[in-house]
Structure 1
Amino acid sequence: MPKISLSQDNEVALQVTLTAGQVAKFNSLANKLIIRNGAAYIPLNELHGVLLTNSRQSAKNIINAYRDIVRPFLVDTLEIPEAIAPIGIYTLLEKLAVDKSSRALEYRASLTLLAYIVGSNPQLALQAQTIGNDQVRSRALTIARLKRRHRFCQLCREQFGNDGRKHAHHIIGESERPDLAADENNILIIKESIHDAYHAWVNERGCAISGATLRNFARHNGYSTDWLNDRNTG
């Protein structure tokens, strides 16, 4: 398999088996994406290019034939009428590549081009940045509020002193559940030394940052597990 190479202009060339007409439909689709709240949606009547069909009706027939796969990703509201989230089409194209192996290269090329169109959409990038900034502010405000609230470490139950900084620990790691980054029920205020020791303990064992590993760490060191029942008191 050829390696991915990056040009001096930070461009990656993609060799596909699609025709010029098929690629033109992708360029047209780029202007028809529905962008709402930092997410993209594809109108169902614009899927004929992505699904490599000659008509909109043929594309709808494919959607209906694979409805069990795409159903979780379909959207039909006043704000987003008759559309589908890109992940639904990614999943469908991979399934089509498996079911119709003679066109596997084309379906996977279509998947790649769709991902590029969605990923490079400037409106989507702007909304995502705005939402991301709001999430960062919300996270910071939540942590500051919890640090003011807690005078005692929620694990060792010792009072915070002037020589020990309060650390905010996410019970379920932010990389695993970024949606819980500002959730009070997912944050403990603990001593810096204990925070560092926990992460070292997790890394040594190759564990994930989770409630289960934190519970095991607490029990192993004789720390409180009261946070399991009521995480934000103390």
Structure 2
Amino acid sequence: MTSGEGPVVLLVEDDPGIGPSLVRALAGQGYRPRLCTTGADALAHPLTDVDLVLLDLGLPDMDGLDVCAVIGRRAPTLPVIVLTARGTETDVVVGLDAGAVDYLVKPFGLAELLARVRVHTRASAHRGGPDAGETDAGETGDADLGDVRVGDVTVQAAARRVFVAGSEVALRAKEFDLLLLLIRNAGRVVTRPVAMAEVWDQNWVGSTKTLDVHVAALRQRLGGGGAHDSPITTVRGVGYRFEQPSPPGP
């Protein structure tokens, strides 16, 4: 990012009723939007000049998930927020698996969109932008923390590595931060507001559905396809708890 200038937001949206209005809204908040209407145009854009991508999945020339995956390979630390009409949990998890850091289901409110853009551009700047690589210790001071082990799950906080029964599991940045928060509080409930504040942003505005989706993805990655066979328990209306293993019987 050039000093004194706003973050560059690459907006990939082919709907003429949405794209230009988002460009105006972003520019009005001090961002420098760059509009692409096809996946090919987006992938031709130099990603080193971009601080954040807003990506519609319903593009005319290719699936937005494929665009997201390519961006993830070319610029692993560049945050991508998916804009989609596909609102099921499965669709959202697939989007996150493709490399997105967040999502919004259409129709969405402009205030919530701008709030999420603020969150992720700040996080991107903290990491040093899309060229910074993936060795940063994260936003939670991980370098000062030791290993945490609960049951079969071991989290190496400083190295940002996770092992389940001795096998390493790859997690996205927010998944790792969320798991670290839960496992450091194993046996205690982490409330939804605390999780959003610690993992996303203390001034988060809007739905906390992102938290639910990240928990669902974590359950899959830790080897449990659903809530009943996962160490992460939902405490309805409150938050989530990482369960301590039961002590062995007599």
Flag the structure with higher strand content: 2
TM-score (norm 1): 0.26
Flag the structure with higher helix content: 1
TM-score (norm 2): 0.24
